[in-house]
Structure 1
Amino acid sequence: MTDEHLDRLVRDADPYRPDVVRHLDGARHALLEEIMSVPPVHCLLEPPQPRPRGMVRRTAGALAAAAVLTGVLAVPAVLPDHQDDRPAAPAGTPVVYSAAALKAAEDNPRLLINRPGWKVETVYGFAKQQGTIRFRNGRQELEMNWYPAGDYDGFRADRLTVGKPEPVTIDSWPGDRFTYNAGDFAVLLRPRDGVFVELRTGGYWPRDMLDRVLTDVVRVDARTWLAALPAEVITPDRVAVEAAKVLADIPLPPRFDAAALGDIGANDPYHFGAEVTGRVGCAWIAEWLRARRTGDDAALQRATEALRGSHQWRVLHQMNEKGDWPEVFWEIADGFVAGSPKATYAQGLGCA
């Protein structure tokens, strides 16, 4: 793989690089009766399908200003059986969420699509005022990304180059619709609670269909939002257990704090694996650079062997069937093993 090929993979891994930001063509249990502040949501949550090959990670690291979506998940009226090994709670048993999970939910806009047929394809982020969720219904995609409120003016100025804004309201949340062409739209919601949200269509969207779907997007409380998440999404209360599984066969760098992974947010398994391995990779690279700078040959050898051994990490092989993040990781690691690091390593792995 040439440097040019690696640069292209890294660039394409970032769905919010500047040239795309301007023209993005993207987007279980029933809660107890006492949650009276949220209107009933009546739709069917379909299980997410695997992403096609080519999906490379974009998490809250530095691969870009992580475009990540709000919590938009359909809440089922008729709940499907759990497909994992977790026992379902007995009828009438309150669902208990950890403080970390509740905080992560409370810190994002918590939007749900109250319309049958929509399924979640990708979920990642929900930390540091950034997150992404992408929904699909047949040929239509709706991707929701949220960002810190401080970025709103720049986003809106850019969207004004697309066309004249048309006022819209999503569950009492005001915003503007921008039309790229007859079937391609963006909806930019104004800052609220420290964040703003952009909804981006993918596929062909007749205007009347978009208008109907927007009327079915609702903002809910944290418990409703968490109850709507697919079982495979790794929420903050599950990070420690799931991270231990990912790290089981991975040598850890000196002073690596696995507990610090708790700020990852909520992610589907692919993006979770990318976030964890990215942090480990960055830490080993930092150790490699330190050792070379100080002449610590033993430490340099340990770091080199750890990066070389990444080709055997189980999680990367599992992820390699779904996207290109492992290929990017290995190419960067191989550069350090060979003693000729790629200049793009920090961008590629999201190193701070």
Structure 2
Amino acid sequence: MKRFDYLKAGSVAEAVSALAAHPKARLIAGGTNLVDLMKYDVEAPGLLVDINGLDLKRIEESENGTRIGALVTNSDLAYHPGINRRFPLLASALLAGASPQLRNAATAGGNLNQRTRCYYFYDTATRCNKRQPGSGCDAIGGVTRIHAILGASDSCIATHPSDMCVALAALDAVVEVEGPNGRRDIPILDYHRLPGETPERDNTLSPGEMVLGIRLEGEASPRHHTYLKLRDRLSYAFALVSAAVDLKIEDGVVRRARVALGGVAHKPWRDLEAESLLVGRAPSADAADAFIARLLSGAKGQGGNDFKITLAERVIRRALRQAAAGTPQLQHEKAIA
């Protein structure tokens, strides 16, 4: 770990100013991702801006939705009565991730901005365009079991590791940010990026911007939802493939379908055109087949992760059945319904 300066920010304005003035500055809250990266010499910030003293730890409910402060811990968010009542899909996804100890420290803003867990990104002896732009990607042609099957590029085949963000994508969340040019809202589907030729950019934040909170607006299904996560072991593991499903079903017909995948791309993966194939129909195997064919039409394996395409098909089909039946996956019971 290299030497760095430290600043305890007394206000959002001070934090933003420090980020804007120091290109190598990084925000630190729970530190569950950044400290790991610093230990491995993947990140070497010149300045750590501690934001733990800021007033960003509240969950605020209103008639129109819920606002989650960037410093709300994953545990507080997962067990909040209002979240469990209004957005149980989010609570379920949070409990599927990490461990209780990590959830006690990790924050909503940090989860949103966590970096990939690609083996090659963490190994400074290998080439990685995300870690060192233009150096190449040793993952391509390497060990690819955990890598992307959708939206990858010749520069990067890494995946986004978050469970929370997959649920947020399915719930059409909005990310509130502040920077040198003021505040703005970013729809969650526009927040994370595909790698393209600039995989070092994980999201669409501008220089000097920081996350203030996350808004959940409108409605979510209290019954017809599920977060289904398949991984190499039953806990404390990142998703090989996960699916967050939120359905609105009236009179036996799907009126709204929102489905996001995790573990398959550089960002949580949604296809609004594919979702339209589920709407206006009764939940059925035929509707699921049409949806899956469209959603995974561009899927491409890298050899070691070819199995993920078939696994994704099965995860989506099972998740749609769980949501339609109103039997969401229970995270404290690992058996898949």
TM-score, length of structure 1 as denominator length: 0.25
Q: Which has the higher contact order (CA 8 A, sep 6+)?
A: 1
Structure number with higher helix proportion: 1
